[in-house]
Amino acid sequence: MNDAAAVGAALREALGGRVEPAVRSPRRLYASLEARDLPEAARWLLARLPGCRLATCTGIDLRDGVGLFHHFAVNGSPLVITLKVLLPKPDPRAPSLLPLTAAADWIEREIRDLLGVSFEGRPAEGRFLKPEELAGSFPLRRGFDPAASRERTDG
């Protein structure tokens, strides 16, 4: 099953219609879903598509919330599947994929530090990319003030 349309239809059926697939080409599938359904969709991809792996995750501060895009690649295939969720601000939360794949570890920590997304189900960890003085400020969010951040770190 290396065709985006076939994967999209099978994923939609497996999740009882809770996924909205959009096929951009035979090799590119975008699947929109609610954050609560993310682990189930990821589990299905990893189990049903041989060689499927989480390649990376992208976070973007959008007008309507924080967009979270988990990109899955299939080894030996040009197929790329992106699971898209929109998280509400000001406190975006999503289930962690760390219990399913170690590939989620660093990227979730980066997105937490830079965009303020809380990944539920992760162990408690300190800052990853930012000093403690910048806890609570998120450099990739709209409205981030670099001058105010410099004042906090420069004293």
Tell me the pLDDT tens digit for each residue of 89-115.
999 999 999 999 999 999 999 999 889
Per-residue pLDDT tens for 17-54?
Answer: 999 999 989 999 999 999 999 999 999 999 999 999 99
Q: Which residue has the higher pLDDT, 17 or 125?
A: 17
Question: Of the candidates 77, 75, 57, 55, which has an alpha carbon nearest to the alpha carbon of residue 66?
Answer: 57
Calpha distance 148→141 (Å, rounded): 14
Mean residue pLDDT across the chain:
89
Spell out the domain ranges in the chain.
4-140
Q: Is the pTM of this model over 0.95?
A: no
Q: What CATH number belongs to 4-140?
A: 3.30.460.80
